[in-house]
């Protein structure tokens, strides 16, 4: 009789344990699905507000640690997010830039105890910026800088137009074309101490060297456009690739809402 009772209790406890495990698995799956759905819905809504379209949905992964455990502790050890490009460039007197390039984001120790202020202990983001984005940012930057220039300098700068930017991975340069091929300026990216600068080499127009203020405007415009996209982080590398550039940035103790706010402010120009 005692053996029968023990066997019954053992089967009951085993069944209870299995039921709990199933509930935990269902809850874990449901929580991951819900968070992923919220990310996709938010990304679609943001793209719609900007008048852009998605080529695919963003994805999110949380590593091996159960999300339920992370939610209880208030810290998610690993978060990996991949977002598609929503970039849209409209040509006109000045090009309009909406949306942002595709990105791959890795977060470490994301603190979620305050849902309104999620903070990542460390973040690494890799993004690829296409040639047309770089061209549009330079054209807009030059127009803004020229508006404050007077006299002969303004006349010279007004005649010199940037009409194309070509990525040259073999030489690790961005080749800036002026006035439909009348001259080309080669820019070599130089990341230093978390900041980005460019070294300009070799360009003349009608037998004369380009004015220094013109090269300064272009290098400043490119560097600022990358910095704007990067937000409050360090620029670790800037690699020239086919049809554009790959930028890797990182940062510590970053409030994700602050980063999102600063980035969205520069996405619409």
Using CA atoms, how far apart are residues 242 and 174, in angstroms rounded to an integer?
Answer: 11
Would you state the pLDDT for residue 266? 42
Using CA atoms, how far apart are residues 54 and 186, in angstroms rounded to an integer?
Answer: 33
Kindly list the distances between the CA atom of residue 228 and the CA atoms of 76, 152, 196, 262, in Å, as whole numbers in the listed order: 28, 31, 11, 8
Residues of the chain with pLDDT under 50: 1, 151-153, 155-156, 261-268
Is residue 221 a contact partner of residue 94, using CB atoms and an 8 Å limit? no
Is residue 248 a contact partner of residue 180, using CB atoms and an 8 Å limit? no
Taking the chain, what is the end-to-end CA distance rounded to the nearest angstrom? 81
Question: Distance between alpha carbon 2 and the CA centroid of its chain, in Å?
Answer: 67
Domain boundaries of the chain, sorted by first residue: 2-126+254-267, 132-241
pTM of the model: 0.76
Hey, which residues does 201 pair with through a beta bridge? Answer: 186
Would you state the pLDDT for residue 242? 95
SS3 call for 165: strand
């Amino acid at each position: 009789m005692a053996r029968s009772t023990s066997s019954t209790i053992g089967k009951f406890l085993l069944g209870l344990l299995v039921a709990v495990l199933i509930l935990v698995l269902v809850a874990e799956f449901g929580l991951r699905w819900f968070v992923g759905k919220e990310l996709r819905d938010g990304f679609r809504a943001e793209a719609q507000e900007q008048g852009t379209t998605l080529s695919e949905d963003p994805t999110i992964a949380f590593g091996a640690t159960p999300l339920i455990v992370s939610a209880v502790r208030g810290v998610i050890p690993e978060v990996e997010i991949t977002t598609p490009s929503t970039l849209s460039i409209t040509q006109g007197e000045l090009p309009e830039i909406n949306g942002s390039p595709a990105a791959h984001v890795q977060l470490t120790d994301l603190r979620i105890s305050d849902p309104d202020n999620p903070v990542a202990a460390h973040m690494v983001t890799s993004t690829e910026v296409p040639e047309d984005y770089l061209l549009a940012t330079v054209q807009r930057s030059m127009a803004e800088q020229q508006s404050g220039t007077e006299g002969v300098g303004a006349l010279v700068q007004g005649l010199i137009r940037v009409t194309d930017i070509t990525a040259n991975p073999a030489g690790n340069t961005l080749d800036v074309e002026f006035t439909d091929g009348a001259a080309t300026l080669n820019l070599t990216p130089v990341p230093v101490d978390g900041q980005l600068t460019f070294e300009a080499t070799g360009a003349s127009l009608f037998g004369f060297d380009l004015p220094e203020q013109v090269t300064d405007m272009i290098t400043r415009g490119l560097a600022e456009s990358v910095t704007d996209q990067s937000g409050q982080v360090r620029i670790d590398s800037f690699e020239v690739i086919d049809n554009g550039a790959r930028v890797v940035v990182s940062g510590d103790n970053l409030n994700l809402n602050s980063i999102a706010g600063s980035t969205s402010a520069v996405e619409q120009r």
